[in-house]
Amino acid sequence: MKQDWSRSWVSSKQPRKQRKFRYQAPLHVRRRFLAAHLAPALRASTGKRSLPLRKGDEVQVMRGDHGGKKGIVDAVDLGKARVTVESVKRKKADGSEVHIPLQPSNLLITKLHSDDKRRKMGKATRTAAASKTAAKPAPADMPTAAKKAAPAPAPTGGSG
């Protein structure tokens, strides 16, 4: 893992390598790190458990001091891996209000911002893909001759 970032890197037990992978990932990959769980109604309609957050999604804060608050995603910061929600703010000493950055794992998406065609058609494309895989024959439907495994190679009598 001497490179800055490698797409082919699979995993490591070492936390320093896991952090390096996340911190040095390009922005198009970091977007996938900013996913949040979907509400049960959305989960049923989309057929997915989580989706990457985007500006305009309605979310509910599930954890932390602001748990239970609902609001609309105001900004997604890929560099810092944080999300800001309109209703989650803090007053500064001078009286001005600033948004509090939240981790996406602490949010629940309650309504999708649906100006994106791919997000709207997500269920339609998944159901079409599911019907294609359902048309393939199952391994149980295959003839018994095809199920038989090839014989193991005979051992060579070499010494040594």
- Residue 100's closest CA among 124, 128, 71? 71
Number of domains within the chain: 1
Decide if 122 contacts 44 (C-beta within 8 A): no
Say if 60 falls within a structural domain: yes
Q: What is the pLDDT of residues 129-157, one digit of tens each?
A: 666 666 665 566 655 555 555 566 666 76
| Alpha-carbon 134 to chain mean position | 25
Say if 142 falls within a structural domain: no
Say if 103 falls within a structural domain: yes
Decide if 53 contacts 75 (C-beta within 8 A): no
Residue 35, domain CATH:
2.30.30.30
- Buried b vs exposed e over 96-134: b needs ≥16 C-beta within 10 Å? eeebeebebebbbbebbeeeeeebeebeeeeeeeeeeee
Say if 134 falls within a structural domain: no
Say if 38 falls within a structural domain: yes
Average pLDDT of the residues of the chain: 83
Decide if 60 contacts 74 (C-beta within 8 A): no
Say if 107 falls within a structural domain: yes
Decide if 56 contacts 100 (C-beta within 8 A): no
The pTM of this model reads: 0.69
Say if 44 falls within a structural domain: yes
Q: Is the dihedral of CA 11, 17, 18, 22 positive or negative?
A: negative
Say if 146 falls within a structural domain: no
Query: Domain range for residue 89?
Result: 15-115
Between residues 1 and 94, which one has the greater pLDDT?
A: 94
Q: What is the pLDDT of residues 45-66, one digit of tens each?
A: 889 999 999 999 999 999 999 9
